[in-house]
């Protein structure tokens, strides 16, 4: 066990002492909160539905009544405490989810990247590099690799990805602490990292687990610090590689030679008018070279995307200065493979206490390398940072950023956009921002100010927020009490509809606006999802329509439509939807039953395709009265029509429900 | 005025061609009515971008065979036009084209294909992820750019479009397409329908219900997107796709790239309003035993060349409307490594194919490959910014002129490789 683990507890203690000064002011008593839903013309029932729409991944059957019964304020309180038992989630995650409990160190040494695997294979002498690649697709190679992995206890990277993806689906669908899960989704997206980047993929799971989820209801500054120090962000935005330019480790002779050559080339080109363009490019490259050690990516994105916002009042100079303050913020070498183990041996040889005396900091897997830090004076957002600040400089930058008024405004707008409307009012934003500042970024307090504003409730009637694909699939699962045995299938559908979660490449995260989610291709996929889900064509996702209606057989297809509309879209105005669907539903009913009967009696004479064609004109005549309709039908057809509405996976109910799930109403929050 | 009429006419023809029955699709009607419809809109210009993920070895694809420093750096990988050294196609006495690109070589001699060599990004990252990200966002020093360059290109065209204006043949949206302008990512065009497995009658009924519901919804966005979806289904006609036969004698390689390019050809021939298409090709990260005239690299390159050639021939009369441009995130080391391959480098090369390309030339600013002339003493230096090529193609072929928006933070000038 590496020595740095022993001092972990020590640094935590100091961190706690340091942090007490920034502890946010606690949210006010819940009993006193005032939810002005009646001012927005909502009944208590409708208000509960709205609350569940925004603060959960969708209401489960009967949940609205339960929230009304316990009181909306109490429900909010319970969700903000986020301490409800998680029996269902734990049960579902008990088998096949080994990765969820691993540390970063265990993860990187278990789920190896393909490039690491190749190196290990070569190193172990089981295969030399050449033969490995040459034989890459032969069965011999695969069995050899499998043997190697088994003997070393290694597992494929795809397995890590899969467990990460699956646990998100399970938690969102079945967690009792819904607000916590909704906020985990929100803050992860705000501080986005991606599985698409080779260097960060091993850390995405622990990032969500350790940096995001435990802090989503605490304070913004805690989230900011936790993300800043996590290996996932350090790798994804390259800060792990950012070192002071004064520590030039390259070959100085070669560097000087290259510089000479470059200068001469650029001089030559400046003279030649046809090569001005090239000269410009060369200059840019030379400039980048000069700053080779310094990497500004994290510095830029922490201000543009995480805190101040693009118009938050910082300059390029600030970006460079912040980058200098964060030089040396990196990841402890935890990998047993590649260069990591050598680096670790070196650190261990020198010893933690010696290194700490030199200004190194070790916290979990975060490491501050004093020897790579730019020790000179800095000037950031108008504040002077004296030379030699070391690790504390980065901490001070985090504090300056999280308490900046631009950050307050930027964060509150993002929260309001997610939970209220794509276009929040200035008054709402003003009040939320004021709370951000007075509570020092306490997330619960900001959320309370939001729900105490009438705008939050007014948005209930507009339904202008469109569900993201992930929200759509999970709300369908929740609304139907579906049993998701294979969560990866749910992920595949989300991908099809445009949200391949955990794989969004850019640090911006998925855009939070309806126009991003809704376009021709994605909308068709949403409709197809509704049909596939309701008719149980998604492998590993099961549901029981009859049970949802307490096994009451609806008396007519009209009644079935009313009942299941209310189950799937509770507290919405159904009448228009039902009116429009009614004539179509009759066709669906007959069609579905004929198909079901055909499937049940493939050899029977009861149903023939002839009958289907003969009856078609009649079926489509929706205006014919019921008795006329029935009289006109043959005896055989009547038998078919008397089958239960819920029979088979292609039952009329399933098809109608599929249409409701794919309908515009179900896409809206 | 004439242009607008031409657009409507060809739009209507497209409907007949694809068996569309019923009224004018709403997006066409909208386009026709719209005052935004630009006078200089010229229907039918299409840019096809092909991203080679993994960093293609530009020095093996288009080899500076005449440079003896190059030969010395790659004793086992060196090729030249000599029969004993791999039989490259000699392009200009200095550069030679890999024999696996035999299907593309004629386009170079016909001057329809240009090669740009020494292309890359001013950001010297050698990480696949970062370099692809920078190339696709078009901002080599800024990761937070929300949009991709092709999405911005679409936005700059200044006219209304069909849902098929920007199509990526990938399962997820590529970084190049990120952004506010509508684009479609789909790996199989046959998915473009309301589907219920094994139950076409139910699918038809469901489609009818959906169409009605979306037609009536009070939410403007869902209403419009719904209408467009159903018009698009009718326009695309899955049966035509299923039964598609390429032009006489053309066989697409049975590879993912072949499949992507075939589907792009279908969209072009169906006249559904495609203007920017995107496809990917993988397997270019050749650290080990890349081979020379034969081997892993040659096989991949053969597929690449054969797919493009099949696509180009299949286009037939549509060739005049189309420009195809390839790209890769960076090149590979000048020296071979210890395992018969090459490692991550800097500049690579790319191809531009089309009838408005000034082809038959290897555009380059490459000097000697002597060690002290290399970037960091090891890599082919980047001497042409990728944006000077991308902008040139977009300016001429797509008639987009606002390079400040297309490539913010770049103030270079486009390379003159297109016919004026």
| pLDDT (average), residues B230-238 | 86
B339 contact A CB<8A: yes
pLDDT over 70 (residue A30): no
* pLDDT on residue A611: 39
pLDDT band of residue A584 (cuts 50, 70, 90) is confident
* Lowest-confidence pick of A256-270, A405-419, A620-634, B85-99: A620-634
* pLDDT on residue A1: 39
* pLDDT on residue A33: 84
pLDDT over 60 (residue B19): no
* pLDDT on residue A571: 86
| Nearest-CB residue to B124 (from A289, A495, A514) | A289
Contact A591 B146 (CB under 8 A): no
* Lowest-confidence pick of A182-191, A384-393, A398-407, B207-216: B207-216
* Most confident stretch, A3-17, A31-45, A285-299, B386-400: B386-400
* pLDDT on residue A651: 82
pLDDT over 70 (residue A10): no
B82 contact A CB<8A: no
pLDDT band of residue A463 (cuts 50, 70, 90) is confident
| pLDDT (average), residues A562-571 | 91
In angstroms, the separation between the Cα of residue A20 and the nearest Cα of chain B is: 33
pLDDT over 80 (residue B107): yes
- pLDDT tens digits, B285-341: 898 889 999 999 999 999 999 999 999 999 999 999 999 999 999 999 999 988 789
In angstroms, the separation between the Cα of residue A592 and the nearest Cα of chain B is: 7
- pLDDT tens digits, A471-529: 999 999 999 999 999 999 999 999 999 999 999 999 999 999 888 999 888 999 999 99
pTM beyond 0.90: the answer is no
pLDDT over 60 (residue A632): no
Question: Which is more confident, A239 or A620?
Answer: A239
- pLDDT tens digits, B123-180: 999 888 899 999 999 999 998 899 999 999 999 998 878 889 999 999 889 999 999 9
CATH no. for B45-190+239-406? 3.40.720
A507 contact B CB<8A: yes
Show me where the domains of chain B are located: 45-190+239-406
CA B34, B35, B41, B47 torsion-angle sign: negative
* Lowest-confidence pick of A116-125, A262-271, B128-137: A262-271
* Lowest-confidence pick of A273-287, B40-54, B182-196, B291-305: A273-287
* pLDDT on residue A596: 65
pLDDT over 70 (residue B36): no
Q: Report the mean per-residue pLDDT for chain B.
A: 88
A505 contact B CB<8A: yes
Which residue of chain B comes nearest to A586, CA vs CA?
A: B205
Question: Which is more confident, B83 or A2?
Answer: B83
ipTM over 0.95: no
In angstroms, the separation between the Cα of residue A532 and the nearest Cα of chain B is: 7
* Lowest-confidence pick of A21-30, A189-198, B236-245, B343-352: A21-30
Question: Which B positions 128-187 lie with beta carbon below 8 A of chain A?
Answer: 128-130, 133, 137, 141-146, 163, 171-173, 175, 178, 180, 182-186
* Lowest-confidence pick of A348-362, B94-108, B301-315: A348-362
CB pairs under 8 A between A and B: 210
Token duo for residue A338: 């590649």
pLDDT band of residue A456 (cuts 50, 70, 90) is very high
pLDDT band of residue A552 (cuts 50, 70, 90) is confident
Token duo for residue A128: 């030399």
pLDDT over 50 (residue A6): no
- pLDDT tens digits, A176-192: 999 999 999 999 999 99
B300 contact A CB<8A: no
| Nearest-CB residue to A277 (from B217, B382, B413) | B413
Contact B225 A520 (CB under 8 A): yes
Contact A523 B229 (CB under 8 A): yes
Contact partners, residue A61, CB within 8 Å, separation at least 6 = A479, A480, A481, A548, A567
pLDDT over 60 (residue B13): no
Percentage above 90 pLDDT, chain A: 61
pLDDT over 70 (residue B7): no
pLDDT over 80 (residue A655): yes
């Amino acid at each position: 066990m590496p020595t740095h683990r022993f001092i972990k507890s020590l640094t935590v203690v100091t961190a706690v002492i340091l942090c007490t000064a920034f502890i946010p002011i606690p949210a006010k008593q819940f009993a006193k909160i005032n939810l002005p839903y009646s001012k927005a013309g909502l009944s208590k029932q409708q208000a509960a539905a709205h609350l569940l729409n925004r603060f959960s991944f969708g209401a489960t059957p009967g949940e609205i009544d339960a929230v009304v019964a316990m009181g909306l304020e109490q429900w909010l309180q319970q969700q903000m405490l986020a301490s409800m038992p998680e029996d269902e989630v734990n049960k579902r995650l008990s088998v096949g989810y080994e990765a969820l409990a691993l540390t970063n160190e265990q993860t990187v040494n278990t789920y190896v990247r393909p490039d690491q695997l190749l190196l290990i294979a070569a190193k172990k002498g089981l295969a030399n590099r050449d033969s490995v690649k040459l034989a890459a697709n032969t069965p011999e190679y695969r069995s050899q690799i499998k043997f190697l992995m088994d003997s070393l206890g290694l597992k494929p990277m795809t397995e890590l990805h899969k467990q990460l993806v699956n646990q998100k689906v399970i938690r969102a669908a079945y967690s009792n602490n819904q607000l916590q899960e909704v906020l985990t989704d929100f803050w992860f997206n705000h501080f986005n990292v991606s599985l698409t980047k080779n260097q960060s993929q091993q850390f995405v799971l622990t990032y969500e687990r350790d940096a995001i989820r435990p802090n989503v209801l605490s304070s913004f500054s805690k989230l900011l610090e936790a993300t800043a120090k996590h290996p996932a962000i350090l790798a994804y935005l390259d800060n792990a590689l950012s070192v002071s330019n004064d520590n030039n480790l390259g070959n100085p002779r070669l560097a000087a030679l290259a510089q000479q050559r470059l200068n001469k080339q650029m001089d030559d080109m400046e003279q030649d008018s046809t090569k001005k363009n090239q000269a410009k490019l060369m200059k840019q490259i030379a400039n980048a070279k000069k700053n080779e050690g310094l990497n500004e990516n994290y510095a830029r994105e922490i201000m543009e995307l995480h805190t101040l916002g693009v118009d938050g009042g910082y300059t390029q100079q600030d970006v460079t200065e912040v980058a200098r303050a964060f030089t040396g913020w990196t990841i402890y070498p935890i990998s047993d493979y590649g260069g990591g183990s050598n680096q670790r041996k070196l650190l261990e040889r020198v010893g933690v206490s010696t290194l700490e005396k030199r200004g190194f900091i070790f916290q979990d897997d975060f490491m501050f390398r004093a020897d790579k830090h730019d020790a000179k004076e800095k000037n950031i957002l108008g504040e002077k940072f004296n030379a030699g600040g070391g690790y504390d400089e980065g901490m001070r930058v985090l504090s300056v950023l999280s308490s900046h008024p631009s950050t307050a405004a930027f964060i509150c707008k993002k929260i309001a956009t997610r939970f209220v409307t794509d276009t929040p009012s200035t008054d709402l934003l003003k009040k939320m921002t004021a709370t951000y500042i007075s509570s020092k970024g306490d997330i619960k307090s900001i959320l309370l100010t939001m729900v105490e504003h009438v705008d939050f409730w007014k948005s209930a009637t507009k339904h202008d927020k469109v569900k993201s694909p992930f929200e759509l699939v999970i709300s369908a699962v929740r609304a139907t009490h579906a049993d998701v045995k294979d969560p990866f299938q749910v992920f595949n559908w989300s991908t099809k509809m445009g949200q391949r979660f955990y794989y969004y490449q850019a640090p911006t995260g998925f855009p939070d606006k309806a126009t991003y989610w809704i376009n021709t291709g994605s909308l068709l996929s949403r409709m197809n999802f509704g049909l596939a889900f309701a008719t149980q064509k998604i492998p590993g996702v099961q549901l029981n329509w009859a049970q949802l209606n307490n096994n009451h057989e609806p008396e007519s297809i009209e009644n079935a439509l009313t009942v299941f509309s209310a189950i799937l879209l509770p507290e919405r105005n159904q009448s228009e939807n039902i009116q429009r669907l009614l004539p179509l539903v009759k066709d669906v009913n007959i069609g579905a039953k004929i198909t079901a009967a055909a499937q049940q009696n493939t050899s029977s004479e009861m149903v023939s395709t002839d009958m289907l064609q003969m009856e078609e004109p009649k079926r489509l005549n929706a205006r014919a009265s019921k008795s006329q309709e029935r009289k006109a039908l043959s005896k055989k057809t009547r038998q078919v029509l008397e089958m239960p509405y819920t029979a088979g996976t292609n039952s009329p109910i399933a098809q109608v429900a599929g249409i409701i799930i794919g309908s515009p109403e179900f896409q809206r929050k | 005025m004439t242009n607008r009429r031409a657009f409507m006419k060809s739009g209507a023809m497209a409907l007949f061609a694809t068996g569309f029955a019923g009224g004018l699709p709403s997006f066409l009607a909208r386009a026709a009515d719209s005052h935004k419809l630009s006078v200089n809109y010229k229907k039918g210009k299409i840019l096809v971008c092909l991203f080679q993920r993994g960093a293609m070895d530009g020095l093996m694809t288009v080899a500076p065979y005449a440079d003896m420093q190059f030969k010395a750096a790659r004793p086992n990988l060196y090729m030249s036009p000599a029969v004993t050294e791999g039989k490259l196609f000699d392009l200009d006495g200095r550069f030679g084209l890999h024999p696996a690109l035999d299907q593309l070589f004629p386009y170079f001699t016909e001057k329809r294909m240009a090669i740009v060599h020494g292309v890359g990004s001013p950001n010297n990252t050698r990480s696949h992820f970062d370099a692809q990200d920078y190339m696709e966002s078009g901002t080599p020093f800024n990761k937070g750019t929300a949009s991709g360059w092709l999405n911005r290109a679409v936005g700059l065209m200044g006219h209304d479009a069909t849902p098929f204006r920007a199509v990526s043949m990938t399962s997820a949206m590529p970084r190049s397409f990120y952004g506010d302008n509508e684009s479609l990512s789909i790996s199989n065009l046959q998915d473009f329908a309301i589907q219920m497995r094994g139950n076409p009658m139910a699918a038809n009924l469901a489609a009818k219900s959906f169409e009605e519901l979306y037609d009536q919804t009070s939410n403007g966005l869902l209403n419009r997107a719904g209408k467009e979806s159903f018009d698009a289904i009718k326009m695309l006609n899955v049966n035509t796709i299923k039964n598609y036969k390429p032009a006489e004698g053309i066989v697409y390689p049975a590879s993912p790239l072949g499949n992507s390019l075939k589907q792009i050809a279908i969209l072009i021939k169906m006249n559904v309003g495609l203007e920017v298409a995107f496809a990917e090709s993988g397997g270019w990260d050749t650290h080990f035993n890349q081979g020379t005239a034969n081997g892993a690299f040659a096989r991949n390159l053969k597929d690449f060349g054969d797919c493009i050639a099949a696509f180009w021939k299949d286009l037939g009369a549509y060739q005049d409307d189309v420009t195809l441009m390839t790209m890769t995130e960076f090149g590979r080391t000048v020296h071979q490594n210890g395992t018969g391959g090459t490692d991550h480098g800097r500049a690579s090369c790319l191809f531009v194919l089309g009838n408005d390309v000034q082809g038959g030339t290897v555009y380059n600013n490459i000097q000697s490959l002597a060690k002290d002339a290399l970037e960091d003493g090891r890599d082919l230096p980047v001497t042409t910014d990728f944006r000077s090529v991308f902008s040139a193609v977009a300016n001429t072929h797509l008639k987009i002129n606002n390079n400040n928006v297309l490539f913010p933070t770049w103030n270079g000038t486009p390379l003159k490789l297109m016919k004026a």
